Amino acid sequence: MNATPRDPTKRFDDRVDDYIRHRPGYPAALVAHLRAGGWLPHRAVVADIGAGTGISSAMFLDADCVVHAVEPNAPMRAAAQARLGTHAGFHAVDGRAEATTLADTSIDLVAAAQAFHWFDADAVRGEWRRILRAGGVAAVFWNSRRLDGSAFLEGYENLLRNFGVDYGEVAERHQDDAAMRRWFGAGLRDVAEFPNAQSLDFDALRGRLLSSSYAPRPGHAKHEAMIAALRELFDATARDGRVDLVYRTRLFVGVP
């Protein structure tokens, strides 16, 4: 695979700081749901695939799991190591979703969050079966941003469509419920949804926007106009100096 901006392992090289500071986490109810279903036993060994800067890894570490954070992007993996490396249960792994380097039958739960849409969905199936222990499952989850429901949400979606470098192409890659049901097929065990949101001042909103791989960076012809449009949108829709990015966190659990 060529090391171009379209290479999913390279798209976030220059966005790590914004990603760490401004990407949303996942609701605590997600881990509680996995635990209640028996899919996340005490001291579970979790393979966090496409772990990025460690957002989902931190969630599983807080749940007293051992986490192998598999991430091919070196700057993001280094950020996760810097953030979580002092935790005895954390292990950063230079690997891909399709070739994790993890040992056979070593994992209780394969977790794949926001990065799933970049994977080769056919290739990961065999790899994840290889590393899962008997009775183990995969949990695929992501934050799906609401596109309407408020003037801010609708304006933000329009801004992304107007200024995003390849926003439409990336948006089309995101999995939907039907695609995930097809992918799991007869192995599907559970589907759940949880509310999630970020309350952001302007600086945090700007950082959240620039954490996205399709947002033009400083120096790009569209960057300054995009930030000006973001400022205008914020000033028109903020309440008490903040706006809300609203998500629904979708979870699919099953045997890959």
- How many C-beta atoms lie closer than 10 Å to residue 240's C-beta? 6
Tell me the pairing of strands 45-49 and 66-70.
parallel
Whether 214 has a pLDDT exceeding 90, the answer reads no
Minimum mean pLDDT range among 38-52, 166-180, 234-248: 166-180
For residues 29 and 195, give the distance between their C-alpha atoms in angstroms, rounded to a whole number: 9
Task: Return the pLDDT at 170.
Answer: 54
- Burial classification of residue 84, based on how many CB atoms lie within 10 Å of its CB (0-12 exposed, 13-18 middle, 19 or more buried): buried
Mean pLDDT across the stretch 237-256? 97
3-state helix, strand, coil in the chain (%, to 5): 40, 25, 35
Whether 157 has a pLDDT exceeding 50, the answer reads yes
- pTM score, two decimals? 0.86
Q: Given pLDDT bands bounded at 50, 70 and 90, which one contains residue 173?
A: very low
16-254 carries CATH number 3.90.650.10: no
Whether 121 has a pLDDT exceeding 50, the answer reads yes
Task: Return the pLDDT at 11.
Answer: 47
Task: Return the pLDDT at 10.
Answer: 46
The DSSP secondary-structure symbol of 49 reads E
Task: Return the pLDDT at 4.
Answer: 34
| Domain coordinates in residue numbering, the chain | 16-254
Q: Are 216 and 165 in contact (CB under 8 A)?
A: yes
pLDDT in tens, 42-52: 999 999 999 99
Task: Return the pLDDT at 166.
Answer: 77
Whether 35 has a pLDDT exceeding 90, the answer reads yes
